[in-house]
Structure 1
Amino acid sequence: MPGTEGWGFTDDRGAELGAARVPLRVAAYVRAGAALLDLGVTPVAVYGSGHDGEELDPAKAGGLRAVGVPYLGPGRALGAEALSELRPDVIVDVTYDGKSPYALDEAVAERLGIPLVALSVSGELTLPAILDRFAALAASLTAAPGRSASGAESAVGPVPAAPASESVPAPDLAAAEALLRSVAAGGGVVVLALSGAGTEQVHLARPQAWPELAHLAGLGVRLLDPGPGPGANWLTGDWAGVAELRPDLVLFDEREHATPPYALPSGVRLAPWNPETPPSPAAYARFFRDLAEALAA
């Protein structure tokens, strides 16, 4: 009978996870949960990171709000009792170091005996590789045609997910990439990605440290590197330093904990960027189309 077969998955820490049957109830870090939703797996609940508050950040929510997925607050504040009440069959988080889940204390899951999958979103992987891994996990969690991970019948059924070895972009993503490549080739717009940290401080993204920014560069987008200094992913400076780099377009961190663009020179165009975009073809297709529109403006 579908859904009763054994389930197994090796995550990006090398942890070999398994269960007697395909997990139906998935709890997830919000970024992972939004990606799984795009891929046809509806979480029973999602939790945030240490940057998040008691309300779900709209920039990180993806389609979760629209389908009523509950938000539990920051993952590090979750205890065994709160997770136990959910009765999850599996927990899905992300990892930046290939060793530990980012947003949840793994000991909580261990005490409850719940498998915890951690998929890498670090700069050591390309964006296509990250998308492939989430697609492979979603495919493994698809218990039966027409069913979501919560066990409820879905009107449209799960979105087909490519195996990790295929590396074939979804049609919408391929079209968005082609559009962005065409727009980037037609202009000389210089782009700087950043995250505001108050009126005196700003974090400037190092493009090659971010899979999606490196992918943009591969599509022909002219991304500024902030230059030498401490920090693997960000160079921390002040807003005057942003002006000195003379970007034409600023990709600004739109998450709630980040400061909106502050004291930029006149004439600099703005476009939102979520450094935690859900790792799904649909989410990145939207981002690439929006960026293409901003570049062409």
Structure 2
Amino acid sequence: MASGITRRQALRGGSFLALGALAAACGTAGPSGPAAAPATSPAGTAGTPAGPWTFTDDRGKQATAPKPPQRIVAYVGAAAALQDFGVPSVGLFGSTTLKDGSKDPLAGDVDLAKATTIGTGYGEFNVEKYASLQPELLVTTKFNDLVWYVPEKQMGDIEALAPLVAIETVKDTDLKKVLARFEALAVSLGADVAAPAVAQAKAAFDAASAKVAETAKKGLKVLAVAGGPDQFWVARAGAGGYTDLTYLASLGLGLEKGAGDDPLYETLSWEQAGKYKADVILYDARSQWLTLADMKKKATFAEIPAVKAGQVIPWAVETPYSYQRQAAWLDKLDGQLSGFKPL
């Protein structure tokens, strides 16, 4: 699929290449491991339900199968979320490793040696390799009108091989709703959400949320940003914006909402980077963006009070939607915020 990638796609996606055009290689496969054998009952689940299976996704489309799917191929973040509910995937697409060869946090507890990767970059989806896995279900996220990482031009061929479920993560939703949607999908696939690990994760999520809400009483002003070579983006927290930021705002954290009509971000030049005098900067630390060190080379960024005070935190933009992952992210965030003060 030859296509440029928009700033909106780039700000959300984990495989934007050098802030340039998307590589046109829909048939090019990423690194892969051996295909996992079909599971009779995913680890940590109550057992695969019997009878016909249906699930209505967030496109409003109903996925159906004669029995609950077991051979699941999923976008990496979705696979990580399902894995935490006890539902494994036999195939993956999306970023699995970082530039230094280490495991991408987006993959969570997915065992990369037991799943075949069918593409790593945005739009890289090897349909032939996907077919060879004998998929019974394809799972990804939905980003407004985008079915994430699945090339639109090949959608017909892809959906002909197995049902597709897409879970909305931005438009008209919130963090708890997204978590509930992944939980519902996992239950339909045989997950036991009454299992101790899931129950403990839910409790941890609630506890971490309560801690952030308490820390928010300090009145910190927080700005979430991403930096490119020529532009500076202020991410927004509000209806239709980033789900995690909107959730933080609901806990009382003072997130700067930015200006303009776009629900996701306000686009600024580097000369305008000091527009908001935040107490805390959350910066998108994924590899496609400027590093904190490089952003500090921009004089207007370096002069932001939060940057001068060292009150800067990496923003885990694509944390998988499971209670375990979100609880860990909130705990880490609170630990850092609790040491900061209003400037």
Number of corresponding residues:
271
Tell me the CA shift for residue 123 of structure 1.
Answer: 3.5
CA deviations on 1:25-53 (whole Å, 9 max, x unpaired) are 1111112111111111111121117xx99
Of 80, 94, 101, which residue of structure 2 is paired with 1:34?
Answer: 80
1:48·1:56 contact (CA, 8 Å) conserved in 2? no
Tell me the CA shift for residue 119 of structure 1.
Answer: 0.8
The amino acid across from 1:86 in the alignment is L
Aligned match of 1:134: 182
- Return closer, same or farther for 1:100/1:295 CA change in 2, 3 Å cut-off: closer
CA deviations on 1:209-241 (whole Å, 9 max, x unpaired) are 1221111111111111222x3533011113443
Of 281, 294, 313, which residue of structure 2 is paired with 1:250?
Answer: 281
Aligned match of 1:125: 173
1:250·1:268 contact (CA, 8 Å) conserved in 2? no
The reply to whether residue 201 of structure 1 matches residue 231 of structure 2 is yes
The reply to whether residue 233 of structure 1 matches residue 281 of structure 2 is no
| CA distance in 2: counterparts of 1:243 and 1:104, whole angstroms | 37
The reply to whether residue 221 of structure 1 matches residue 253 of structure 2 is yes
CA deviations on 1:142-199 (whole Å, 9 max, x unpaired) are 27x7xxxxxxxxxxx89558xxxxxxx81010000111111121x232111112222x
Aligned match of 2:163: 115
SS at match of 1:76: coil
The amino acid across from 1:204 in the alignment is V
The amino acid across from 1:102 in the alignment is W
2:124·2:149 contact (CA, 8 Å) conserved in 1? no
| CA distance in 2: counterparts of 1:91 and 1:242, whole angstroms | 40
Tell me the CA shift for residue 70 of structure 1.
Answer: 4.0
Aligned match of 2:53: 7
SS at match of 2:330: helix
Tell me the CA shift for residue 9 of structure 1.
Answer: 0.5
Of 200, 205, 209, which residue of structure 2 is paired with 1:177?
Answer: 209
Tell me the CA shift for residue 75 of structure 1.
Answer: 5.8
How large is the Cα RMSD of the aligned pairs? 2.7
SS at match of 1:170: helix
Identity, in percent, stands at 30
The amino acid across from 2:338 in the alignment is A
SS at match of 2:329: helix
The amino acid across from 1:74 in the alignment is G
Aligned match of 1:76: 123
| CA distance in 2: counterparts of 1:110 and 1:285, whole angstroms | 34
| CA distance in 2: counterparts of 1:216 and 1:131, whole angstroms | 15
Aligned match of 1:283: 325
Question: Which deviates the most, 78-87 or 125-134?
Answer: 78-87
Structure 2: which 5+ runs fail to align?
Answer: 1-46, 297-301
Of 74, 85, 92, which residue of structure 1 is paired with 2:139?
Answer: 92
| CA distance in 2: counterparts of 1:116 and 1:217, whole angstroms | 32
SS at match of 2:267: strand
| CA distance in 1: counterparts of 2:188 and 2:113, whole angstroms | 22
